[in-house]
Chains A and B, each alone.
Chain A
């Protein structure tokens, strides 16, 4: 067990943590925006899958990673529009429509993969970009400052989303729609439009999360590439209390424990592998029981809004 705390191992754990956390950050921060306006999108995993495929396919055929990233964002946006239409305009039960979106994304991504590509291939994804000077700081340097652009983007997103939600008029509107849509409506804010906007924004970020997997971190596409990470991302929004910093904390906690359990297996720590794999999930629940979470759930979360009912 003392091996676990040697320098190589700790920096190795942190390094892997950063990679693992990236897709969670994009997807969970996006979902934070959507939920702040009162809409739950359980279909995030499906959005990630279809966008991951789009990014991969475009990058594979055009050779351009940035076009792939754009494709993923567009697919994310379109799926966000679909989700908004069904959940906001048609006022569907959001849990169910989210599952439908998930199934659609899962099926379409596998279908298109089978028809258009047919077998597992790889691309050369976003390369690491070393930040001069900072990247040379011993220990911390390689972990923090030698990552690829999408990874930097994921972490920069945290203060950006915080600033959006806390310091801009739009953010204020989003939150008011999520807390009290009737009041917001009476003040002249279009509840539907704000919800469309936040769901689409969230979904676009979920699309980028997918791209971060297929053209940055894993550099390939296969059926069910995300293996349920989208659902974990949704869970992390609750963990973080709809606060971007809290969400980042959750993503990092989950990822660091996941990274650590792999190191434990590699170093031969005597723990059944299934128990090791369970650890991130167990510790996430444990963390919540220890830190008393004052639930600041948006009061109108998961409730379709209809004007003139009150």
Chain B
């Protein structure tokens, strides 16, 4: 008799404990470059990690990732694999993954697929699409850059003229010109997202031709930043991630992609049974884009207020930036 009730007690105890420790929420992410790229992929990975910390660690949010998935069929296999493993949300963090997501999402109606950077949810109920209005932060950076340049020459070191590299730089140019149309802006495109040596050479070329402010996009801009460090007096404006850690005295500001708000929203929606259908855009207004002023750089107050004014203007809609 006693043995039996003991047994029942144990079983009940186990069942109660099991139901109290809920299964963790599971997110998997597939990325085209390394999590350490100081740019696109790193921005998503660090956002996911901070959400994980917020939610209480790995027991509350399980994260899995696949990086360097620049071959699209491999990424498709990864997305499909994670979906079939029962992940709640699978993030395909690369604009080239679109057609893959479109196909795979149909086969896994219970899984949420988040895809970026693009605006297309394919009309599927379990797909979220996201993008970043990089031109907005570009504009703000451009305004500030126009205020701090002494040589009145600014250099732009770009990778390939596509995607948010293009939109960021388009916005930057508009920002500079809104302050002073006579400032010379020179642009280079290295034709690669990863060629650091060529990016460094490009930055040095801008500097040698007289530029004292530089900006650019992609993971290879670490080369441009290093060229600025070598010269010692060239200032840098960054995008996609906060790059102040690389050159604390020379980075003025960076546009930071903050995916956490969007991620929180997706998780909440998924838990409530809404698996997709929304298109997110990171903007200055919704806090997805932030301008991170580098505290180690003494920004003149006139420049800062000009920057803040343009943030206000874009947020309110009085300033329109079109890539």
Tell me if chains A and B make direct contact, with any CB pair below 8 A: yes
* A120-B189 in contact given A8-B208, A262-B201 (Cβ < 8 Å): no
Contact, CB under 8 Å: B197 / A227: yes
* A122-B186 in contact given A19-B201, A273-B191 (Cβ < 8 Å): no
Contact, CB under 8 Å: B202 / A223: no
Contact, CB under 8 Å: B208 / A114: no
Sample of 6 more A-B contacts, CB < 8 Å, known A217-B200, A258-B201, A266-B187: A15-B208, A229-B197, A262-B201, A263-B205, A266-B206, A273-B161
* A122-B226 in contact given A262-B202, A273-B188, A277-B191 (Cβ < 8 Å): yes
Q: How many residues of A contact B (CB 8 A)?
A: 39
A289 at the interface (CB under 8 A from B): no
Contact, CB under 8 Å: B198 / A258: yes
A62 at the interface (CB under 8 A from B): no
Contact, CB under 8 Å: B188 / A12: no
B292 at the interface (CB under 8 A from A): no
B302 contact set on A, CB distance < 8 A: none
* Interface-central residue, B161, B196, B198, B206, by most chain A CB under 10 Å: B196
B155 at the interface (CB under 8 A from A): yes
- Which residues of chain B in 29-57 are interfacial with respect to chain A, using CB atoms and an 8 Å cutoff? 33-38
Contact, CB under 8 Å: B219 / A222: yes
Query: What's the Cα separation between A231 and B90 when bound, in Å?
Result: 37
Contact, CB under 8 Å: B201 / A12: no
A156 at the interface (CB under 8 A from B): no
A29 at the interface (CB under 8 A from B): no
A-B pairs with lowest CB-CB distance, top 7: A273-B189, A277-B191, A227-B195, A12-B208, A265-B188, A266-B186, A262-B205
Query: What's the Cα separation between A113 and B208 when bound, in Å?
Result: 32
A12 contact set on B, CB distance < 8 A: 205, 208-209
Contact, CB under 8 Å: B194 / A227: yes
Residue from B37, B192, B226 in contact with A227 in the complex, judged by beta carbons closer than 8 Å: B192
Query: What's the Cα separation between A114 and B195 when bound, in Å?
Result: 19
Residue from B36, B188, B196, B230 in contact with A113 in the complex, judged by beta carbons closer than 8 Å: B36
Contact, CB under 8 Å: A223 / B34: yes
B33 contact set on A, CB distance < 8 A: 223
* A222-B155 in contact given A122-B229, A263-B205, A274-B191 (Cβ < 8 Å): no
Query: What's the Cα separation between A264 and B166 when bound, in Å?
Result: 20
- Which residues of chain A in 1-53 are interfacial with respect to chain B, using CB atoms and an 8 Å cutoff? 8-9, 12, 15-16, 19-20, 23
Q: Which residue of A lies closest to B219 (CB)?
A: A222
Residue from B36, B197, B208, B247 in contact with A20 in the complex, judged by beta carbons closer than 8 Å: B197
Contact, CB under 8 Å: A120 / B208: no
CB distance from B185 to the nearest CB of A (A): 9
B246 at the interface (CB under 8 A from A): yes
B147 at the interface (CB under 8 A from A): no
B187 contact set on A, CB distance < 8 A: 265-266
Contact, CB under 8 Å: A218 / B209: no
Q: Which residue of B lies closest to A260 (CB)?
A: B205
- Which residues of chain A in 229-246 are interfacial with respect to chain B, using CB atoms and an 8 Å cutoff? 229
Binding site for A on B (CB under 8 A): 33-38, 68, 155, 161, 186-192, 194-198, 200-202, 204-206, 208-209, 219-220, 222-223, 225-226, 229-230, 245-247
A101 at the interface (CB under 8 A from B): no
Binding site for B on A (CB under 8 A): 8-9, 12, 15-16, 19-20, 23, 110, 113-114, 118-122, 213, 217-220, 222-227, 229, 258-259, 262-263, 265-268, 273-274, 277
* Interface-central residue, B190, B205, B220, by most chain A CB under 10 Å: B205
* Interface-central residue, B195, B245, B247, by most chain A CB under 10 Å: B195
Contact, CB under 8 Å: B196 / A8: no
Query: What's the Cα separation between A220 and B245 when bound, in Å?
Result: 13
**Can you name 29 A-B pairs with beta carbons within 8 Å?**
A9-B209, A19-B204, A20-B197, A23-B197, A114-B35, A118-B36, A119-B245, A217-B200, A218-B197, A219-B229, A222-B37, A222-B194, A222-B220, A223-B194, A224-B194, A227-B195, A227-B196, A262-B198, A262-B201, A262-B202, A263-B209, A265-B187, A266-B188, A266-B202, A268-B186, A273-B161, A273-B188, A273-B189, A277-B191
A258 contact set on B, CB distance < 8 A: 198, 201
Query: What's the Cα separation between A110 and B37 when bound, in Å?
Result: 11
* Interface-central residue, A19, A23, A118, A227, by most chain B CB under 10 Å: A227
* A120-B186 in contact given A222-B219, A227-B192 (Cβ < 8 Å): no
Contact, CB under 8 Å: A218 / B190: no
Contact, CB under 8 Å: B155 / A266: yes
Contact, CB under 8 Å: A218 / B196: yes
Q: Which residue of A lies closest to B42 (CB)?
A: A119
Residue from A114, A219, A268 in contact with B34 in the complex, judged by beta carbons closer than 8 Å: A114
B229 contact set on A, CB distance < 8 A: 122, 219
Query: What's the Cα separation between A206 and B38 when bound, in Å?
Result: 28
A121 contact set on B, CB distance < 8 A: 246
Contact, CB under 8 Å: A277 / B190: yes
Contact, CB under 8 Å: B197 / A213: yes
Residue from A16, A114, A265 in contact with B204 in the complex, judged by beta carbons closer than 8 Å: A16
Query: What's the Cα separation between A218 and B245 when bound, in Å?
Result: 17
Query: What's the Cα separation between A137 and B205 when bound, in Å?
Result: 22
Contact, CB under 8 Å: B202 / A218: no
Query: What's the Cα separation between A220 and B197 when bound, in Å?
Result: 10
Contact, CB under 8 Å: B186 / A217: no
Q: Which residue of B lies closest to A255 (CB)?
A: B201
CB distance from B323 to the nearest CB of A (A): 18
CB distance from A30 to the nearest CB of B (A): 18
B196 contact set on A, CB distance < 8 A: 218, 220, 222, 225, 227
